[in-house]
Structure 1
Amino acid sequence: MPVGYKPTVFVSSTCFDLGQVRSDIRDLIQTFGLEPVLSEYDSFPVFPDTDTISNCLRNVREKADIFVLIIGSRYGFQTDGGKSITNLEYLEAKRKGIPIYVFVNTGILDILPIWKNNPDADFSSHVENQKVFEFVENVSHFKSNWVYKFDTASDIKSALLQQIPYLFMDSLEARKKLKVNEVNLPSDLFPPHATRLVIEKPDGWEHLLFALLCKTYLDRLEHKKFDLEYGISFNDVVVIEEPQDVLDWITSHNKEMLKLIRITTILVKDAVLKSFGEPGKQGDYRKIQHVCQRLLEVYEQIINWKLSFTTLEVNEDFEPILKVLSGFSDDSLVKIEQFVNRVHIEIPETLENLAHNDEHVTLDFTFTLESPDVESFNQELEKIARLYF
């Protein structure tokens, strides 16, 4: 965490009916010396290249250290998936694993049992949309969150005044555990939530750590993805004039890509499972971090491999075979990215469902890389041979 960094508190709710409550909570957050993040204020970070929903979720994902959820009688704007922005923000905070404080209007909680017994009845005098009840039911599950009732902003302020100091004490306890157990968690390798997982070791912490670190490291390579999209490389231009030298370059790069594919397969099919430990035994956080780091290093190497074609200057006769060879990387890049994004979503969701249902679930961590288009490559190679040899 950077020196001078203020932990941020993201306040999530519908704005229209809870405007004054949000304003009061913002003032309280500032009295703690924390940084409030509320979407209606100019200080709310806006990323001009994305829409409103994406902006909100990105701020939860990248900025929020503490999440305060306030549920009143309105559900708010529904996305195409049927969930409100507030609901999506909450799910993002759950995936991130940060502390969440949930406050629900007393009137909504009091009528919730009646709605559960009569879900088809008319409750329009209590809520704008009955999805409010579904949302409250989800967040108030006994294994999900501690839920506080509120009638006014002072109720929320009173609860936070009690709870934030406890959070501070948790941090001091975590610091003690780090020292006693001599756990080395460099901040550049372990973001705050990853550190918390290693220290507290909740059920399934190894899988959660793997999902979190993979996603963290992938997001750090976003600039490389943009370089690839725009064909940007700052490496020196490589000019090869002799046909045999071009073929040597092609052969070398072909072998390098096959090696990277092989490393990816070893990491995903073997190293990941070994890092989690034998059944009934805890995994090794150092091995989990190592596997995540290596997997995304391979991903970066594959991007660099493909970008090397943009700085190569050869006779145009070689362009068809170079195009085919360059495509050898495409499947690996797509599959690694899909794999990381999939486990980032599915692992927390699966563990959450297990906490609710206590069902046995088998997680599949493998993926299959397609074989390169060797036939097209060999056809182009024969054409080159006829031209020059």
Structure 2
Amino acid sequence: MSISSPCVMISSTFYDLRQVRADLEQFLESGLGYRPLLSETTSFPVDPDRKTIENCRACVEEHADVLVLIVGGRYGSVDHSSDKSVTNLEYLSARAKGIPVYAFVEKRILGALPLWKANPEGDFSSAVDNTRVFEFVDEVRAKHWVWTFEFETAQDITAALRHQFAHLMREGLVLRGKIQQSGLSDALLGISGAAFRLALEQPDAWEHRLFCRVVADEIAACRELRRRYDKRIALGESEAVSLLDLESWSRPRISELHRVTSALDYALNDGLRDALGEPGEPGDVEKIVSIAKLVGQAYREALEWSLRVSRTAGHDALKPVVDALALFPDDILQKVELFGEPLLKRIEDALLAEPTKEPTTIDASVVLELSNSEQFEAAMQELYDKLESGEIEPD
């Protein structure tokens, strides 16, 4: 089989759907020439250093091109850290990755779903082993608006997938034709599929949605740095600073962060306005992506700046000053994050709302400030007072 064949992850509980999974494996591999990903097979990619649940989620994130979600009467194994089933986590990983998700729910489960919604405390043990199955199905259908197919046999699923994969193939060919005709720059090849589609198809409010989508993707790429910032985990080589050199050390650090705020001020005001174009005129795709990436780069630099500051080593009395300084980017991070998913949702909600005579206006202006400056100055003053009084000896 070609290594470039599409990888299709089958996500479901195992014991109650074992035969369905086996039939789907046969259909995908022999019938379509795709690469099926099933956790019970020897070809399932496993990292020995990861736990079972981590391997399942990583398989979606690193290998899957499509996820086929199958929900029967069992909720399945639960990840205690998230309190969600493995199937639920695989599904959420696919949603986060943005790959196609085809959801299939047993017919009897769908039949019992409205009864459960009307009487959540009722006894549904004849249909499910845990009523969280209903909660999961309701989340998929009502919250995420994922189309769900009902099934009774594996043949119901294979018949539906045969049609859906044909539609997906057709859609891919249409997009391929548009790409060839569009003349879009190679500079756009690094953006996500969702962003690329906005740039290519240019639906309503595409300029603003494209900007927000790329910013959101850039922020998502910094997720691990953001976690370390929140937990104050600063790994790596330290920079030694003496108490007497503190002011001369901190001044250029603050200037570095001011350059970040200046770049963001330009990007979110002048640069973005120029990229979006005049009202009624189309925006410039390349400029929009460039400005969004500049915002993402500044966001990453603010995080890395804070972690570099946190690695500063020296006298114990230095710690309150360093801790206060390391929190300077708080306002920057919070305000940049608003330009990603939150602003995108506001725009898309406005597009879905009932049309009105007056145009819908969304205020997205921003004023960036350095956080925690008063605490930093207070910590510096307290340190100077202790040095002057002799309570602390210079190192």
TM-score (normalised: structure 1): 0.71
Q: How does 1:107-122 map to 2 (within 5 A)?
A: 107-116=108-117, 119-122=120-123
Moved more, 347-356 or 167-176: 347-356
Q: How does 1:258-277 map to 2 (within 5 A)?
A: 258-264=258-264, 267=267
Secondary structure of 1:64's match?
Answer: coil
**Other-structure match for 2:200:** 199
**Other-structure match for 1:8:** 7
Offset, 1:10: 2.2
**Other-structure match for 2:16:** 17
Q: How does 1:93-104 map to 2 (within 5 A)?
A: 93-104=94-105
Moved more, 107-116 or 321-330: 321-330
**Other-structure match for 2:190:** 189
Report whether the alignment pairs 1:127 with 2:133. Answer: no
Report whether the alignment pairs 1:64 with 2:64. Answer: yes
CA contact (8 A) 2:141 2:147 kept: yes
Secondary structure of 1:124's match?
Answer: coil
Offset from partner CA, 1:190-247 (integer Å, 9 cap, x none): 13333234334567766665565345434555787889945425xxx99999x89x86
Looking at structure 1, the residues matched to 4 and 100 of structure 2 have their Cα atoms a distance apart, in angstroms, of 18
CA contact (8 A) 1:104 1:148 kept: yes
Q: Which runs of 5+ in 2 are unaligned?
A: none
Looking at structure 1, the residues matched to 379 and 180 of structure 2 have their Cα atoms a distance apart, in angstroms, of 58
CA contact (8 A) 1:21 1:153 kept: yes
Aligned residues: 377
Report whether the alignment pairs 1:330 with 2:331. Answer: no
Moved more, 326-335 or 16-25: 326-335
Q: CA separation of 1:323/1:83 partners in 2, compared to 1, >3 Å: closer, same or farther?
A: closer
Q: How does 1:130-149 map to 2 (within 5 A)?
A: 130-141=131-142, 144-149=145-150
**Other-structure match for 1:26:** 25
Looking at structure 2, the residues matched to 347 and 252 of structure 1 have their Cα atoms a distance apart, in angstroms, of 33
Looking at structure 2, the residues matched to 336 and 356 of structure 1 have their Cα atoms a distance apart, in angstroms, of 29
CA contact (8 A) 1:56 1:89 kept: yes
Q: CA separation of 1:126/1:345 partners in 2, compared to 1, >3 Å: closer, same or farther?
A: farther
Secondary structure of 1:29's match?
Answer: helix
TM-score (normalised: structure 2): 0.70
Looking at structure 1, the residues matched to 252 and 211 of structure 2 have their Cα atoms a distance apart, in angstroms, of 33
Moved more, 327-336 or 178-187: 327-336
Offset, 1:66: 1.4
CA contact (8 A) 2:234 2:307 kept: no
Secondary structure of 2:99's match?
Answer: coil
**Other-structure match for 1:254:** 254
Residue identity matched to 2:65 = D
Offset, 1:73: 1.6
Looking at structure 2, the residues matched to 110 and 380 of structure 1 have their Cα atoms a distance apart, in angstroms, of 69
Q: How does 1:32-47 map to 2 (within 5 A)?
A: 32-46=32-46
Residue identity matched to 1:68 = V
**Other-structure match for 2:87:** 86
Q: Which runs of 5+ in 1 are unaligned?
A: none
Secondary structure of 2:124's match?
Answer: coil
CA contact (8 A) 1:254 1:325 kept: no
**Other-structure match for 2:377:** 374
Offset, 1:168: 1.7
CA contact (8 A) 2:239 2:312 kept: yes
**Other-structure match for 2:160:** 159
Looking at structure 1, the residues matched to 339 and 194 of structure 2 have their Cα atoms a distance apart, in angstroms, of 16
Q: CA separation of 1:383/1:288 partners in 2, compared to 1, >3 Å: closer, same or farther?
A: farther
CA contact (8 A) 1:96 1:193 kept: no
Residue identity matched to 1:169 = R
Q: How does 1:195-344 map to 2 (within 5 A)?
A: 195-201=196-202, 209-210=210-211, 212-218=213-219, 220=221, 229=233, 231-232=235-236, 250-264=250-264, 267=267, 285-302=285-302, 305=305, 324=321, 327-332=324-329, 336=333, 340=337
**Other-structure match for 2:106:** 105
Offset from partner CA, 1:278-329 (integer Å, 9 cap, x none): 888876543443233223322443455457669999xx68x96698357524
Q: CA separation of 1:22/1:58 partners in 2, compared to 1, >3 Å: closer, same or farther?
A: same
Identity of aligned residues (%): 31
Residue identity matched to 1:75 = Y
Looking at structure 1, the residues matched to 42 and 380 of structure 2 have their Cα atoms a distance apart, in angstroms, of 55
Offset, 1:173: 0.8
Looking at structure 1, the residues matched to 172 and 133 of structure 2 have their Cα atoms a distance apart, in angstroms, of 33
